[in-house]
Amino acid sequence: MRLLDIPPTWLLLTLAGAFGLDRLFPWLATGLDWVRWVGDALIVLGLGAMSAAVWEFLRARTSFIPRRAPSAFLRSGIYRITRNPMYLGDALVLAGAILHWDVLPALVLVPLFGGFIQRRFIRWEENRLIESFGDEARAWMGRVRRWL
């Protein structure tokens, strides 16, 4: 079960919930084309944030799997802007999909997803960074916001 308790699984479950709301309540759709376009743009931004994060992990030759011990401290590239670009990307993809599907009431899932991810994964990961990199990690966390 622990193999399934990873952020992408929770993103997929939340996306499935949003998609289900779309199918259950189709009359909630706005029918506005620009809503779908904004959604598509958010999906692209989210995938871009995730890709930029993976690029930094590959450059540093360290794992991007959350439960693995960090072998390098990332603070360049997108990590100068946000401490959690992958999770930010997840949230943007979720918001984008909800807008693309035109099920605006499901946008409430975005902060719920973010709060869950923060409690379930981010706090633990940040504590692990502090254990591994000490004051360097604390200083970075003081300079760079968790989300944006």
Model confidence band, residue 63 (pLDDT cutoffs 50, 70, 90):
confident
Whole-number pLDDT of residue 62: 85
pTM of the entire predicted model? 0.92
Short-list 105, 99, 111, CA closest to 147: 111
Q: What is the pLDDT of residues 28-58, one digit of tens each?
A: 899 999 999 999 999 999 999 999 999 999 9
Q: What is the pLDDT of residues 7-34, one digit of tens each?
A: 999 999 999 999 998 889 888 899 999 9
Q: How much of the chain is in helix, strand and coil states, percent to nearest 5? A: 75, 0, 25
Residues 100 and 15: beta-carbon distance below 8 Å:
no
What is the three-class DSSP state of 41?
A: helix
Mean pLDDT over each residue of the chain, to the nearest integer: 93
Q: Using alpha carbons only, what angle is made at residue 135 by residues 139 and 132, rounded to the nearest 5 degrees?
A: 115
Which residue in this structure is represented by tokens 């376009």? 37
Residue 14 to residue 26: CA distance in whole angstroms: 18
Q: What is the pLDDT of residues 120-138, one digit of tens each?
A: 999 999 999 999 999 999 9
